[in-house]
Amino acid sequence: METFELRLVESDGSVAVLEVTGYINNEGGEAISREASRLLDSGIRTLLIDLHATRIINSIGISLLLEVLERTLDLGGTLAFCCLSPSIAKTFQIMGLAQYARLFPDRPTALAQLRGSS
């Protein structure tokens, strides 16, 4: 289980949706970080990361997501997550990601709100 996969499933020029499957560890976190940098460099300022197929993240993965968050905020952008498992939601809360990133229960709600405010 938990083979890592990252897919850019949606991008309309203002909001990009990344779907993550599997373990967010060093390798997975760096893949997300690279893709997020590419999208930010291309001018996208709102990133939504869908974690419905992710059940596990370690502290290296979290530190990499924190860096993505910092970079996005530095550029005045928004980093959002949706579809978090309860344990990952708790982890985000403890590790400070929930403080600055936006969290949504599902993707349609996230997209509606992000597009409405972007």
Partner 1 sequence: MSAFVKLLEAGARGPREGSVHLPETVLDAVLGETGAVAARIGLGEEVLAVRGQAPGTGRRYELPAGRDSFWLETSGGSEPSELLRMAGGVVLGAWAVRDQLKRARFAERRRLWEMESLRAIGEALGGSLEPTHIAEELLLNATALLDARRGEVWLAGAGAPALASAVRGAAAADPCADGSCLVAARVGGGVLTAAEAASLPDSGLLEGSRLAVPISGRRGRLGVLAVAEREVRGGTAPFSPTDAETLGLFAAQAAVALESAVLHREAVERLRLERELELAAVVQKELLPSALPELPGFELAARNQSSRRVGGDVFDVIEAGDGLFLMLGDVAGKGVPAALMAASVQSAVRVLMLSQPPLVEVARQLHAHLLRTTPVNKFATVFMAYLHADGQLEYLSAGHNPVVVAGADGTTILLSASGPPLGLLPAATFTSSRTELARGALLLAYTDGISEAVDAHDEEFGTRRIAELAAGARGTAPAAVVDRLFTAVEEHTGGAPLHDDRTVLAVRRAGV
Which residues of the shown chain bind partner 1 in the complex (CB under 8 A)?
1-2, 23, 25-27, 37, 40-41, 55-60, 63, 66, 70-71, 74-75, 87, 90-91, 94-96
In the complex with partner 1, which residue's Cβ is closer, 37 or 113? 37
The three-state DSSP-derived secondary structure of the chain is: CCCCEEEEEEECCCEEEEEEECCECHHHHHHHHHHHHHHHHCCCCEEEEEEEECCCECHHHHHHHHHHHHHHHHCCCEEEEECCCHHHHHHHHHHCHHHHCEEECCHHHHHHHHHHHC
Beta carbon nearer to partner 1, 69 or 111 = 69
Output the smallest distance, CB 48 to partner 1, in A. 20
CB of 64 to partner 1, least distance (A): 8
Burial zone of 22 (CB within 10 Å; 0-12 exposed, 13-18 middle, 19+ buried): middle
Nearer to partner 1, 2 or 10 (CB): 2
Q: How far is the CB of 68 from partner 1 (least distance, A)?
A: 11
Closer to partner 1 by CB, 14 or 59: give it: 59
As measured in angstroms, the least distance from the Cβ of 45 to partner 1 is 12
